[in-house]
Amino acid sequence: MTDWFEEKLEEKLGRIIKVQVRRKIVSHRSRYQKIEIFDTVPFGRMLVHDDVIMLTEFDEANYHEMIAHVPLHVHPDPENVLIIGGGDGGTLREVLKHAGVRKVDLCEIDRDVVDLCKTHLPSLSGGYTDPRVDVFYEDGARFVAERKDRYQIILVDSSDPIGPAEVLFQESFYRDMHAALTRDGIVATQSESFLYHGDIIKKIARFSREIFPVYAYYHTQVPTYPSGTIGFSFCSKRYHPLEDIRENVGLAADRLTFYSNAVHRAAFVLPPFFERLLAK
């Protein structure tokens, strides 16, 4: 008998995601959410929170490389980096590929996510042993609000804007991130799909432009996410994501799966209907 996992987050809109699974590796109820890891037929291991797909081994690099390497290829000296969320370790893995990074703080509200991914998703979570890394199990919004003028880069690797992650899509959080950055810092945040979630992105764009001198939306392809596309808000105090891109930061091409300078540039090209939406 075939087993299937069905993500029904958008079932009311007539959309579900269905993935064939070989077996359920782990099912655990943490203080904050249900955490499951499956062995799937087409996509390798798959991490699920509260019945919503967080990542699969098949396409996780498309997301993690783009949230990390785009800002890290723009800032000229990204020594101190903060990751909000990202307990699976994928974004951390990519940040640590940059030799110039001296310190990474990772703030994840759910310790159980980190522990389970260390055990069952080692291809993502190996960075936790790096001496440059400090992990804080705290609320990300509160963590940011308590730190000023500290980070060159802040990456918000969040889930969808429901439940504990909802605050990470609010204007007050972006203002606190602005204060936590150094004078030339950059933020990159998970910002949903331009194909499905235009209203959310438009709201983020509106207040981001009021807070940061430089704002842009860019996107990547992740087949196991709704619409197959996910995007990011690039918010910067000084540097432009295209005018200030660095061509060579010492990363060997064989260490990357999805990111390149060419892909970086292309990610900021938006279809006309969405450009019109953001311009309103």
Q: What is the dihedral of CA 44, 188, 116, 163, to 10 degrees?
A: -110
For this structure, is 157 an active site residue? yes
The pLDDT of residue 102 is above 90: yes
Q: What is the mean pLDDT of the chain?
A: 94
Residues 39 and 96 reside in one and the same domain: no
Position with higher pLDDT, 116 vs 164: 116
Does residue 80 share a domain with residue 32? no
Confidence of residue 253 (pLDDT cuts 50, 70, 90): low
Q: What span, in angstroms and rounded, lies between the C-alpha atoms of 259 and 280?
A: 31
**Of the candidate ranges 88-102, 203-217, 241-255, the one whose mean pLDDT is the lowest:** 241-255
What is the rounded distance in angstroms from the CA atom of residue 55 to the CA atom of residue 48? 7
Shared domain for 141 and 45, answered yes or no, is no
Please report the pLDDT score of residue 167 as a whole number: 78
In a shared domain, residues 21 and 91: no
Distance CA 231, CA 233 (A): 7
Domain finish residue from 23, 39, 55: 55
CATH number (domain holding residue 20): 2.30.140.10
Taking residues 31-42, report their average pLDDT: 97
The pLDDT, as a whole number, for residue 163 is 64
- CA-to-CA dists, residue 107 to 72, 85, 87, 142, angstroms: 19, 6, 8, 10
The candidate with the shortest Cα–Cα distance to 183, out of 84, 76, 67, is 76
**Predicted local distance difference test score (pLDDT) of residue 189:** 96
Give the pLDDT mean for 229-245. Answer: 98
Question: What average pLDDT does this structure show over 268-279?
Answer: 95
25 shares its domain with 156: no
State residue 247's pLDDT score. 83
Domain total in the chain: 2
Which residue, of 55, 83, 99, is where some domain finishes? 55
| Res 186 pLDDT > 90 | yes
Any idea what the CATH number is for the domain that residue 91 is in?
3.40.50.150
Residue 1 pLDDT exceeds 60: no
The pLDDT of residue 251 is above 90? no
| Alpha-carbon separation of residue 114 from 117, 135, 158, 209 (angstroms) | 5, 10, 14, 33
Judgement on whether residues 107 and 185 belong to the same structural domain of the protein:
yes
pLDDT confidence of residue 169:
84
Return d(Cα 103, Cα 47) in angstroms, integer. 27
Q: Hey, what's the torsion of the CAs at 62, 65, 70, 72, to 10 degrees? A: 180
Is residue 102 domain-shared with residue 240, that is, in the same domain?
yes
Mean pLDDT of 56-71: 98
Burial of residue 245 (number of CB atoms within 10 Å: 0-12, 13-18, 19+): middle
Which of 2-16, 99-113, 257-271 bottoms out in mean pLDDT, i.e. has the lowest?
2-16
Residue 189 in tokens: 């945040």
Residues 64 and 178 reside in one and the same domain: yes
Residue 68 sits at the vertex; the CA angle it makes with 198 and 259, to the nearest 5 degrees, is 90
Task: Assess whether 30 and 126 both reside in one domain.
Answer: no
> What is the model's pLDDT at position 249?
74
Residue 179 CA to residue 143 CA, distance in Å, equals: 12
Position 171 scores a pLDDT of 93
The C-alpha atoms of residue 170 and residue 254 are separated, in whole angstroms, by: 38
Radius of gyration of the chain (CA): 18
Q: Which residue segment(s) compose the domain that 197 sits in?
A: 60-279
Q: What's the confidence (pLDDT) of residue 2?
A: 67
Looking at the fold, whether 15 and 138 belong to one and the same domain comes out as no
- Verify that 197 and 73 share a domain, yes or no: yes
Task: Give the pTM.
Answer: 0.96
**Rounded Cα gap, residues 5 and 129, in angstroms:** 32
pLDDT of residue 164: 64
Which of 59, 157, 160, 176 is catalytic? The answer is 157
3-state secondary structure of 192: coil
Are residue 74 and residue 112 in the same domain, yes or no? yes
